[in-house]
Chains A and B, each alone.
Chain A
Amino acid sequence: MRKSTSDNIKRSDEPIWWGLFSAGGVCFAVFVPAAILFIALLIPAGIMAPEALSFERAESMIFSLPGLIFIGVVVCLPLFHAAHRIRHGLHDLKLGKEQLNKIVTYGSAALLSALALVGFVIGIM
């Protein structure tokens, strides 16, 4: 039987990951579709003029404040969204160990996010 009024019940750290997951989920739903549509479909398929993503334009667009926001909203937050779903998906499929899964998934999201930010910093210098 579980005691219902115990003071030393451990609080989960999940609110942090759930917060990132939710923010990333909004970005995945609202901003990512447009990003995929133009950057990965219409322009590569030749439906839209490739000049839209010429070297000079791409460079001036991404290495700017709006570019930084783009990286945060379309890359970093969706990465944490994905990490959260993969972690819980592994639990659903009874794969791996909870603690290790957490480190690997959120760790990868953090690493790739840091990489994107490093790339941005190199670009503006």
Chain B
Amino acid sequence: MTTKQLSIQRYLPEQGSAPYWQDFDIPFDDSTSILDALNYVKEELDGSLSYRWSCRMAICGSCGVMVNNTPKLGCKSFLREYEGPVKIAPLAHFPVEKDLIIDMEPFLDHLAAVQPYLINDSGLINGSGESEETFKQTPEQMEKYKQFAGCINCGLCYSACPQFGLNPEFLGPAALTLAHRYNLDSRDQGKKQRMPQMNREEGVWSCTFVGFCSEVCPKNVDPAAAVNQGKVESAKDMLIGIFKG
């Protein structure tokens, strides 16, 4: 079995402040994913390595890492795709807590800010929070937002976004995409509540359409398109505001 050299960025806060690189030789074949390689390191070579993972099938979104400076899901990229040594680092633009584990809190805050859930008070049984009937939606209505509904909150797009790297206050690709996704949903009535967040300097307007977020998205959501459609919405919102006075 051939082996490949893996360089992993280690950071052990309890043993000193500076991160360092550690090399491992990993036996691999065509089916060895980056996550398999990390598991091999932990089980066979160095049990002190810390990283997140769960489902192994690009659904849970927890195994994101930088592979050769590009954000990837560990379970969805394979050693066979890389020539030469492979450099693995924690997702960029986030605080690193230990080894490959990042602090997702800034991302989750930004998600919460755009209220990414159906907002619709019609048809509720007196304050019970329960609806009398389920919301109906035609396939055509669903088609409008379906593209943007595939997000698994893995955070790769934030690591791909230099604008988020330059300004951590920027709401960022996934949050703005979800805002747009719910704004496009025929069952939703929350657009008015979300627009102020999108209209901010740190809303859609911090984006310069670098487009790398859409390149790295493991679910092909195309967040760059959503954010920039959000700019059109925000511009319309401004015009409407001017005419209404």
Contacts and interface: CB of A to CB of B under 8 A. Distances in A.
Interface of A: 1-2, 4-7, 9-12, 14-15, 18-19, 88, 91-92, 94
A11 B200 CA distance: 5
Given A10-B201, A12-B199, A4 B235 contact: no
A18 B208 contact: no
Given A9-B196, A9-B200, A10-B200, A4 B231 contact: no
For the residues of B in contact with A, the DSSP-based class is helix
A87 B162 CA distance: 16
A18 B201 contact: no
Nearest to B203: A12
A4 B166 contact: no
A1 B193 CA distance: 18
B59 interface: no
Contacts of B113: 2, 4
Contact of B197 (A4, A18, A94): A4
B154 interface: no
A12 B205 contact: yes
Contacts of B235: 15, 18-19
Contacts of A1: 109
Contacts of B231: 15, 18
Contact of B115 (A4, A6, A7): A4
Contacts of A4: 112-115, 193, 197
Interface in B220-243: 231, 234-235, 238-239, 241
Nearest to B171: A2
A11 B208 contact: no
Contacts of A88: 208
Contacts of B197: 4, 9
A92 B162 contact: yes
A14 B205 contact: yes
B200 A12 contact: yes
Given A12-B199, A14-B201, 16 more contacts: A1-B109, A4-B197, A9-B196, A9-B197, A9-B199, A10-B200, A11-B196, A11-B199, A11-B241, A12-B200, A12-B205, A15-B235, A18-B231, A19-B235, A88-B208, A92-B162
Nearest to B199: A11
Contacts of B114: 4
Contacts of A6: 196
Nearest to A85: B208
A15 B237 CA distance: 10
Contacts of B193: 4-5
User: Which A-B residue pairs are the 10 nearest by beta carbons?
Assistant: A14-B205, A15-B235, A12-B201, A12-B205, A9-B196, A11-B199, A15-B238, A4-B113, A2-B113, A88-B208
